[in-house]
Amino acid sequence: MNRSTRASRAGPAGRPHGRDTAPAGAKGLELAARLLQQSLHFRQPPDALLAQALRGPQRLGVRGRAAVGDALFAALRDLPRWHHLRARVRGDAPTPLDVQRLREDIDACGDIVALAWPDDAVPVWGSDDAPQAQRALALRAAAAALAAAPLPDGVRFGLPDWLYQRLRAVVGEALPALADALRAPAPLDLRVNALRAKREAVLSEWCAAGLPAVATPYAPWGIRLPARTPLQTQPAWVWGHVEVQDEGSQLIAALVGARRGETVVDFCAGAGGKTLALGAEMRNTGRLYAFDTVAARLQRLQERVQRAGLTHVHPMALSDESDPRLQRLAGKIDRVLVDAPCSGLGTLRRHPELKWRHDPSTIAQAAALQQRILQAAARLVRPGGRLVYATCSLLPEENEAVAQAFTESTRGRFEPLDACTLLTQARVTDAHSLTEQGALRLWPHVHGTDGFYAVAWQRR
C-alpha cells in the first residue's frame, strides 16, 4: 500500500470554490452511508471507494461532494462517539461498538454519517424535505443536547477498547495527545528528488507561486504542504522533482544509508516510496532490487521509477518470503530494508479504517509474519552489511518484540546499531529527539509524522 499518496483524501475537505450543480440533500447522506458500510467490509480503502463513487453520475455539487468525503472520514475517525450518541438519542443503553453488526445496518450507517456531517456543510441539505434529510436534522439536534455529557474513555478517544488499553500501556498520560493527533488530518509531505532538484529551489518556486510550502523539521529532503494542496499543475510535480512521502518514511530511508555503487534490497517495496528514496540516495548507481509479493504494486512502481529518472531499479515479484530465487543473493547485499507488512496503526491520520480492521488476533498474526520475513531478509546481508527493520505500527508486539526476538535468535551474528548515530550521519536534524533505546521511534503527537518504528543491525 502506498500510504502517503492517499494523504490528500484522508484529511477534512477544504471547501472548494465553485458553483454547486445541486444540493447534496438526501443523495449525499445516502452516498456517505453506503461508503461507510463498504469501508467497514475492508475490501478497499475508503479513499479509493470515495474516488470511484464520485466519478459516477451523482449530481451533488462541489460542496456536496466535499461534504460526503468529510463525513465519511469523520465517521471512521470517531466511530465509537457517533455510535454512542446514536444510542443515547434513541433512548437505548449504549453498548460496545460491534463493527460487523454496524456494517450490515445501513440505517445505522446513515445515522452515523449524519452525526459526523461537517457543521459548515449542513446548509448543502438546503430545503430538502426528503425523509433522510429531515431525520438527519432531527438526529443532530437531539445529539447536540447531549454534547456536554461525559463519554467513556475509549469512546472519547475514538479507539476500540482493545487498542485503547494497548496504547495507554505504551504512552501512559500522553494518550489523549496521541489520540487527538491520530484523529487529525495529516499534512501533505513530499520528498524532493535529489537527482533532479534541490529543496531550496523547490521551496522558492512554490513560495513564489503562493503555495504555503515549508521544509520538514527533520528530513533533509522533505517539504510540507497543507492537506489536499493541488500539485498536478506545478512544474516540480510534472517533471518528477518531488514525490509524495511522509516525513517519517523519509527518515526510515535515511536510516538505511544507501550509497553510490552498492547493491541494496527493498524487501517489501509495495508501491515503492522508500525504493525511490533509496535510489536517489544511491545517485542512480549500483543495483537496487524492489521485492514484493503483489505484482500489481510493482507495476505501479515502474511508472514512478520512470518519472523519477531512475534506471537501476530491478523489481521482482516473490511468491513469498522463502522464494527460491532469493538464494542466489544470499550473503551478497550491502543493505537490506524490511519495511514489513504490519497493522498500519501508525497511519490512522490517513487510514482511520485500520483501527476497525484489526484486533489482538490480527496483530499476533502480523508479528509472526514479520518474524519470518525478517529472518528471510537477513540471509541476504553480506558480512559487514546493514539490515533495517521498520513498521508503521505503534504497538510493541510488532516493533520492539520482533526486533528483540531477532537479535536473540541470531546469537550475535547481527549487532544492533545506534539509530541516532546513523541518522546524524544522514544529515537528519535533531536526530536524538527521534530515537528511543537505540531505535527510530516516531509519534504523531510528538513529531508530526505518521507513527513509525525502525531498528538497524550490522552483520558481523
**Alpha-carbon span 145 to 136, nearest angstrom:** 15
Residue 116's H or E segment, with its range, is helix 106-116
- Under 8 Å between Cβ of 428 and 281: no
How many residues can be counted in the chain?
460
- Is 98 annotated in a binding site? The answer is no
**Alpha-carbon span 264 to 289, nearest angstrom:** 6
Cell readout for 98 is: 460491534
CB atoms within 10 A of CB 241: 23
Residue 132's H or E segment, with its range, is helix 131-144
Axis-axis angle for helices 61-77, 25-39 (nearest 10): 40
Q: Is 392 a catalytic residue?
A: yes
Residue identified by cell 461525559 is 150
- Under 8 Å between Cβ of 124 and 67: yes
- Is 120 annotated in a binding site? The answer is no
- Is 292 annotated in a binding site? The answer is yes
- One-letter amino acid of 244: V
Q: Which conformational region is residue 17 in: left (phi greater than 0), alpha (psi within -120 to 50 degrees), or beta?
A: beta
**Alpha-carbon span 32 to 452, nearest angstrom:** 31
Closest CA to 262 of 243, 244, 281: 281
Residue identified by cell 542512480 is 284
**Alpha-carbon span 333 to 384, nearest angstrom:** 10
| Catalytic residue chosen out of the listed positions 109, 268, 342, 392 | 392
- Residues marked as catalytic: 392
Q: Which residues are annotated as a binding site for S-adenosyl-L-methionine?
A: 292, 320, 339
Q: Which residues are annotated as a binding site?
A: 292, 320, 339
